[in-house]
Chains A and B, each alone.
Chain A
Amino acid sequence: MTSSPISGLVDWDAYVPREETQAIATAAREHFSSLFSLDDLRGMLDGRPKPDLWDRLVEHGYTAVGIPESLEGLGTLVDLTALLQEAGRALLPAPLLTHAMAAQTLEAAGMLDESTVASSLAFAFRRGDALLVFDGAAADFAVTVESRDDGCAMTLFPLGDAPREAVAGPDPSRAFVRIALADLGAETQGRTLGAPADALLAGARTCVAADLTGVAARALDAGIAHSLTREQFGRPIGSFQAVKHQLADAYVEVELTRSLVLGAAVALTGEPHSDEGLRLSLMAKASAGEAAARCTALLTQLLGAIGLTYESDSPLGVRRARQTIPLLGHPGELYARVALLSTGGEA
């Protein structure tokens, strides 16, 4: 078998749910729900300011999850993905995901240190003469990764008090900000690496996948709850197969995605630059993007007209999903890259 994608050996213990992971997720779910209300997200559609939750998140130690112990971190990427699934489920309006993406990328490049780990980080993309910084309104540093002929280049930009212009997008609670490169100081740090960009980004991509899995799971659960209580033709709409089968398919997609996210996190924890981790991170992000799109759209459909009102929570999930799905590649693009990797083509 020449093309077998995995070794025959399974680290079974890595897939046994750990109490510590569960404890992080359970505590985060409770805590996030006490930190803000979805009315805060609705208010931002009308230009009201984003709640500033960052210091409280740092105090609670969320930014330490998935960071090496040598930098006073705790837990693994598996724990971080469990945490980010809860943040996604809560539609948390705080830059936890962008910070995690940047921190994981710095760590993969060997550039995470005491100074950066204690800062507010954001993931960014270079667009012409500007940086588009994801959820970066208050970030101290931005991290970019760009492909080069023989690898990739990672750059760390101190943002200082450079002017930031919010970019209009579907979800203002997680907006990009534009920063002109000319407004940034010269003290950037860069590093070129021989590995392809996708290898360096495997951790960040797995983080996005975890967030989107949470967004999908929230919509799925809301869809199930609504189908149990809403009655038409004298019975709950969840008793109709047309509804049931859509929810079953959505559930299958969410669980398949959870498995891929866990597989990617386990692989990258074991060996940060492994081919298997890279491949699974592409799969996880692609699958999570599709699951989030499907589940949030399904919830809208099941709710009927009320799902298209300002008062409904459902469109907040649609906004969150659609703001996040394009990050680090749309599903179709990532699946195509998986195919190329597997057939020996150039990614």
Chain B
Amino acid sequence: MSDSLAEFREFLADALPADYASAYRNYRDDVELRTRFQAEMFDAGWLVPEWPRELGGRDLPLTEALTIRIEGARRQIPRQMNIQATGVVAPALRAFGTPEQQQTYLRPTLRGEAWWALGMSEPGAGSDLASLRTTAVRRGDVYLINGQKVWTTQADGARWCTLYARTDPAAAKHRGISCLILPMDTPGVTVRRIRTAGPSIETFCEVFLDDVELPVNALLGRENDGWRVAMSALEHERDMIWINNWLEMQRALEPVLDGASVPPHAHERLGRSLAEMEGIRLTGIRGVGARTAGADSAFTGILKLLGSEAVQNAAALALEFGADADEASLARFDEYLESMAATIYGGTSEVQRNIIAERILGLPKGA
């Protein structure tokens, strides 16, 4: 066992309640614990262990850092309150942010003190994100922003937003988009919550932008380079996606595996679900191995599609065959409902299939 893993285990023993391993389900909605734990993870360098020390990491080699993350997943560590902050925004800040932006945003973002919204989808731009119509018009040293975002997760609790807006209406649609950092308390920003289908689904909102002014230095990345910011932010977190999906599947299947209630007719489905879970883990590890050898790992492009659908299958199994089929079934229904979001956000399964077919298999674009 590596020294870092032993050290991380000691950290967990200190940071988590003594009964966490046996009673972690009781802590699932413990906001105080989840908040405190993220800050402690960051302060100890475990939140982003592969990052350099000056940015809050431990300079660990990738595989050692992943071992830490897998250990965290295996121990079912408390979920971050605003996962897109560390999952999507922080890598983008690190890759595209100016030194001043990194200085201002990274620490509160990683510690979980400031939440982020991702200002991407619009009423007319969902899967076809590049057709977004929110505009940012340059007037001297400011952008004047008008438009509307929708399905913006946790916008009601976010301090900042990575806002994608059209800065060059004449350019081809992918090339005229910029990413701007928007403080959510800027005048002209109105947030309206959308009531969700169940309590387990994170709040999403409409965000209205009426003559919002942002200074030019709010740009994250270069002007008109927003598409690259959006895509690379997702790319950076490819390893977290499979580790999280693997964790979600373990969580979902636990009530099924712990009991003897699975009827024979469901054994095949359960075995398939377990194979998907292992397949996701092994595909993630294979991808890391291929990258270590400097080889192409195009196959990791399947993990979003595979992971989201597999998590859904597992949640359905748990709903149907969980061990305690009485009062807990509503909780499992809520988790099932939550899993239904996985094949929609961050690129629907339909779009993922197009991407796999076109970018990995080389099939032509459709009409």
Chain A residues at the B interface, C-beta cutoff of 8 Å:
1-6, 8-10, 12, 14-17, 224, 227-228, 235-236, 238-241, 243-245, 247-249, 251-252, 255-260, 262-263, 279-280, 282-283, 286-287, 332, 334-340, 342-345
Contacts and interface: CB of A to CB of B under 8 A. Distances in A.
Interface string B38-60: 00000000000000000000000
A122 B299 CA distance: 34
Contacts of B1: 9
A286 B269 CA distance: 12
A121 B274 CA distance: 34
Given A238-B364, A339-B266, 5 more contacts: A16-B290, A257-B279, A283-B274, A336-B264, A339-B274
Give the top 8 A-B pairs by smallest Cβ distance, nearest first.
Answer: A335-B271, A15-B289, A338-B271, A336-B267, A244-B357, A259-B282, A283-B275, A339-B270
A48 to B, nearest CB: 36
A252 B301 CA distance: 9
Given A5-B278, A239-B366, A244-B354, A345 B270 contact: no
Nearest to B271: A335
Interface in B281-335: 281-283, 285-286, 288-290, 292-293, 295, 299, 302, 305-306
A10 B364 contact: no
Q: What is the interface residue range for chain B against chain A?
A: 35 or more
A256 B276 contact: yes
Contact of A15 (B278, B288, B350, B353): B288
A241 B357 CA distance: 9
A224 B278 contact: no
Interface string B340-365: 00000000001011101110111111
A283 B279 contact: yes
A191 to B, nearest CB: 30
Which secondary structure dominates where chain B touches chain A?
A: helix
A256 B352 CA distance: 16
Contacts, number: 184
A244 B362 CA distance: 10
B367 A262 contact: no
A302 B296 CA distance: 28
B66 A345 contact: no
Contact of B274 (A241, A342, A345): A342
A247 B356 CA distance: 9
A340 to B, nearest CB: 6
Nearest to B310: A256
Contacts of B66: 10, 12
Nearest to A260: B279
Given A1-B74, A339-B268, A245 B289 contact: no
Contact of B71 (A8, A228, A239, A342): A8
Contact of B282 (A236, A245, A262, A343): A262
Contacts of A255: 283, 299, 302
B75 interface: yes
Given A252-B306, A260-B282, A17 B271 contact: no
Contacts of B356: 248, 251-252
Contacts of A286: 271-272, 275
B286 A332 contact: no
Interface string B167-194: 0000000000000000000000000000
B21 interface: yes
A263 B272 CA distance: 16
Interface in B77-112: none
A247 B302 CA distance: 12
Contacts of A3: 250, 253-254, 257-258
Interface in B177-233: none
A4 B274 contact: no
B364 A239 contact: yes
A339 B271 CA distance: 4
Contact of A228 (B258, B295, B305, B363): B363
Nearest to B262: A343
Contact of B278 (A252, A258, A283): A283
Greatest chain B CB density within 10 A among A9, A244, A280 is at A244
Contact of A263 (B250, B264, B282): B282
Contacts of A342: 257, 270-271, 274
A249 B279 CA distance: 15
27 contacts: A5-B277, A9-B1, A12-B63, A12-B288, A12-B292, A15-B285, A16-B289, A17-B289, A227-B363, A235-B364, A236-B363, A239-B366, A244-B357, A244-B363, A245-B354, A248-B356, A249-B353, A251-B360, A252-B305, A252-B356, A256-B279, A262-B282, A335-B268, A335-B271, A338-B270, A339-B266, A343-B256
